[in-house]
Structure 1
Amino acid sequence: MHQLPFPDNRPASGAAMDTVVPRRHGRTIALAVAGLLAVLAAAFAIWHWMPRGLQVVAADLRIATVERGIFRDDIAVRANAEPLTAVMLDSVESGRIEEVHARDGDLVTRGQLLFRISNPQRNLELLARQSEYAQQISNLSTLRVAEQSNRTERQRRLDDLSFALEQAQKTLARTERLAGQGFVSAVALEEAGDRRDKARRALTLEQRSIEAEDKVRGNALGRLEETILGLATGLRLVEQTVDALAVRAPVAGRLTDFRLQVGESIVTGKRVGRIDDPQRFKLSALVDEYYLNRVSVGRLGAVTQDGRRYGVKVGTVYPQIKEGRFTAELLFTESQPAVLSPGQSLDAQITLGEPAPALLLPNGAFVSDSGAAWVYVLTDATHAERREIRAGRRNNAQIEVLSGLAPGERVIVSGYAAFGNSVRLQLH
């Protein structure tokens, strides 16, 4: 066997048999790209098929299209008929019902007796006032009789004193003549003058006494007469109180809410019924608080009954809000329905302005949930997004859209309460 020589006598390593092959990167890159595309495709498929937004049933929604049209600035309300005038019946006295002469629903005339109350205390008060009044009248009569007697006596004294003065004056005159002729002494003349002066002083004193006495008696009579007038006024009040025990109809009309029973106790101020005007009526309507600043006195409207329209106008607005509504009273401007009963309901229309072109959206339940500040707009057949809008006037059927929507867009107009704060909806 021939043996090949090895240089340097080194053992064989096999290195001469190995060849360096360069690495191929293209396959690896292709596989990586293919894997990435597969992942993206899967992610896209998942994203595409995964629900986007709150899922809702399309059949449960009411969807409307934004359109241009004529906005009719009026509102429809349900109004109840009420008597135009009504007089409340309140008991002005307390006691026991002794008699009832009318029934609920009766037509009564002014002054007709409705019921009678018994109150022994009032009758005793009347007797006491009558007795006191009679006593004072007797005292006044006695005082006047005494005054007349005293006046006669004073006049007699005045007459006597006047006569005495006249006699004294005559005596003095004769004495003066005789003294001038020398037949009477100066002492006699002086005495005659003194008697005349005395008689004059007596008359003057009596006159002053009579004037003072007349003044005192006049004051006493005046005070007594004032007292009697006061007693007479009090007596009339008590008599009126006793008369009020027999309650009569203050006006003519239909007796309503009257349900008194004989033997029933009643207290002062208790509402026992009312008397309604049976011929003339007004309407009371509850209106949404949104229209409070627009429904004002004088606004015109109409109601329809049996195919005929009757003109009305706003007569009174009560601004107190209760459960989101306020009350407006409507008055018939000309005629009223021939057959109308208290409590009867009518459909009324109140005009707030003239019709005008506008971008319109049907009024719906969404208004109470969003305040017409935002809506859900359909982006395609199965999706809707929340969008802010600006709304203007509204009536029972229409909402005026000022901005945020375009003609032809479709909007969910049913209630939003079930959607919470969802920004997107998916319809299925």
Structure 2
Amino acid sequence: MDRVIEKKKWNVKRVLTIAGITGLVVLLGGSIYFSSGKSKLNVDVERITISEIAKGDFQEFIPVNGIVMPLTTIYLDAIEGGRVDRKFVEDGAEMKKGDPILQLANTDLELSLANQQTQVFNVLTQMQISRDQAQQNTISKLNQMADVDNGLKEADRVYKLNKHLFEQKAIGLQEFKSSENAYQYQVRRMKLAMQILKQDTLSTRKQLDQSNESYSNMKSTLALMRKKVGDLIVRAPVDGQLTSMDAEVGQNKNKGERLGQIDVLSGYKVKVDIDEHYLPRIYNGLAGDFSFADKTYKLTIKKVYTQVTSGRFQVDMAFQGKVPAGIRRGQTLQIRLALSDETKAVLVPKGGFYQQTGGNWIFKVSEDGKKAYRTDIQLGRQNPEYYEVMQGLKPGDKVLTSSYETYGDMQELILKK
């Protein structure tokens, strides 16, 4: 007797068919989902930084390092070159104006001084000889003048007497004419002698003036040479502390070479290095502050050095009010240099997100805290702690401020705890 065989509803072929259809549906659904622009990524909350947007006081500032320097520094350079022969003091010594610091030896300079002294003495000797000769010549001329004057007086006496006698017919014409000629001759001699004496006086005076001028020049040169030799002893130009001394006995120093410096201890300033990017925004009067011994002190820019070296420039800052007790030359201060006044602003803490977004967008956390989605924003000013939010966020919003390096082009993050 034949038996009816029941057909199985879930055979292998049917199961495989259903599984294939289901897989195809899932594949199509996933494709549609991921191509819709809502790409998602699961992230561990413990590996990210979530910050809250807040409104608070904002001031644009940059952190800079400053070195405490004396208010006034006088540099010591070798006015004349030479070998270091002797050191009178060591680095760090307290100096008074005029105190000797070190002595240089320069044989050539000292020999030049000796030669110059010899030349001056030779000129002085020659001047004395010339002066004596001029005086003797003048005396000779005066003696001649005296003889001429005496001859004129005698010729005048005889001429007047003979003239009277000739008028009285006591002597002849020949004797009268002879006395008259003798008188006129003595008159001419007197005029010539006076002219010679006058020229001699002018010549002597001119020669004496030239000699005196030459002697004065020689003396000035000698004084200069003595000063150059005297400069071989380096002395403190002002009261202060000797620092940065760079000279050892036996060491050769060239003319103009730096030997050290004198720090005038009447006060301090702070020398600050700043990146050249900020040069257009730095000017006299900008303020900064720093912490020292658990207190905050203020500084103000007093001078801007616009010369840029290795991408940086320098400014001098002065202490406002009392200088901190215990501060020392060469000490480094960490300064907050303000670039703007303090204002109220919406703030987002700084983080690694900026490197990938450029401040154009950020991941904003949903209200339930389960996901974060991409939001366009606009940032303004910044300081080392915050960015100023201009658009896209409001106080109370929460955002991811850690790095987005591994997120790629994800539009949404699923936050897993």
Hey, what's the Cα distance between the residues in 1 that align with 2:276 and 2:43?
Answer: 32
Q: In structure 2, what is the equivalent of residue 125 of structure 1?
A: 112
Q: In structure 1, what is the equivalent of residue 362 of structure 2?
A: 377
1:375–1:411 CA contact under 8 A, matched in 2: no
Alignment of 1:198-237 (within 5 A): 198-237=185-224
Q: In structure 1, what is the equivalent of residue 122 of structure 2?
A: 135
Q: In structure 1, what is the equivalent of residue 285 of structure 2?
A: 298
Map Cα deviations across residues 28-80 of structure 1 (whole Å, 9 max, x no partner): xxxxx999866532424565899659x98875655544433332355553322
2:238–2:264 CA contact under 8 A, matched in 1: no
After superposition, the Cα gap between the structure-2 partners of 1:324 and 1:148, relative to the gap in structure 1 and judged at 3 Å, is closer
After superposition, the Cα gap between the structure-2 partners of 1:66 and 1:100, relative to the gap in structure 1 and judged at 3 Å, is same
1:423 to partner: Cα distance: 5.7
User: Which one of 365, 384, 393 corresponds to residue 396 of structure 1?
Assistant: 384
Q: Unpaired segments of 5 or more residues in structure 2?
A: 1-20
2:155–2:183 CA contact under 8 A, matched in 1: yes
Hey, what's the Cα distance between the residues in 2 that align with 1:166 and 1:414?
Answer: 127
What is the DSSP-based 3-state SS (H/G/I as helix, E as strand, rest coil) of the residue aligned with 2:280? coil
User: Which one of 33, 36, 41 corresponds to residue 29 of structure 2?
Assistant: 41
Hey, what's the Cα distance between the residues in 2 that align with 1:58 and 1:320?
Answer: 49
Map Cα deviations across residues 158-185 of structure 1 (whole Å, 9 max, x no partner): 2222222233233332233223333344
1:218 to partner: Cα distance: 2.9
1:400 to partner: Cα distance: 3.0
Q: In structure 2, what is the equivalent of residue 169 of structure 1?
A: 156
User: Which one of 86, 89, 104 corresponds to residue 91 of structure 2?
Assistant: 104
Map Cα deviations across residues 118-144 of structure 1 (whole Å, 9 max, x no partner): 222222112111111111110111111
Detail structure 1 runs of 4+ shifted over 6 Å in the superposition. Answer: 33-36, 55-58
Alignment of 1:220-369 (within 5 A): 220-322=207-309, 325-364=312-351, 369=355
1:296 to partner: Cα distance: 1.2
Q: TM-score, normalised by structure 1?
A: 0.77
Hey, what's the Cα distance between the residues in 2 that align with 1:291 and 1:426?
Answer: 38
The one-letter amino acid paired with 2:221 is: G
Map Cα deviations across residues 89-145 of structure 1 (whole Å, 9 max, x no partner): 222333322222211222222222222222222221121111111111101111111
CA root-mean-square deviation: 3.6
Hey, what's the Cα distance between the residues in 2 that align with 1:419 and 1:206?
Answer: 119
User: Which one of 62, 77, 80 corresponds to residue 90 of structure 1?
Assistant: 77
The one-letter amino acid paired with 1:342 is: R
After superposition, the Cα gap between the structure-2 partners of 1:184 and 1:400, relative to the gap in structure 1 and judged at 3 Å, is farther
Map Cα deviations across residues 370-398 of structure 1 (whole Å, 9 max, x no partner): 8x963441145655648563514x33333
Larger radius of gyration: 1
After superposition, the Cα gap between the structure-2 partners of 1:193 and 1:250, relative to the gap in structure 1 and judged at 3 Å, is same
Hey, what's the Cα distance between the residues in 1 that align with 2:353 and 2:141?
Answer: 102
The one-letter amino acid paired with 1:229 is: S
What is the DSSP-based 3-state SS (H/G/I as helix, E as strand, rest coil) of the residue aligned with 2:178? helix
After superposition, the Cα gap between the structure-2 partners of 1:247 and 1:426, relative to the gap in structure 1 and judged at 3 Å, is farther
Aligned length: 390
1:365 to partner: Cα distance: 6.1
Alignment of 1:416-427 (within 5 A): 424=410
Q: TM-score, normalised by structure 2?
A: 0.79
The one-letter amino acid paired with 1:284 is: K
1:82 to partner: Cα distance: 0.8
Hey, what's the Cα distance between the residues in 1 that align with 2:137 and 2:108?
Answer: 43
1:261 to partner: Cα distance: 2.4
Q: Unpaired segments of 5 or more residues in structure 1?
A: 1-32
Q: In structure 2, what is the equivalent of residue 11 of structure 1?
A: none
Hey, what's the Cα distance between the residues in 2 that align with 1:35 and 1:112?
Answer: 99
1:316 to partner: Cα distance: 0.9
1:88–1:271 CA contact under 8 A, matched in 2: yes
Hey, what's the Cα distance between the residues in 1 that align with 2:96 and 2:279?
Answer: 40
Hey, what's the Cα distance between the residues in 2 that align with 1:184 and 1:58?
Answer: 157
The one-letter amino acid paired with 2:362 is: V
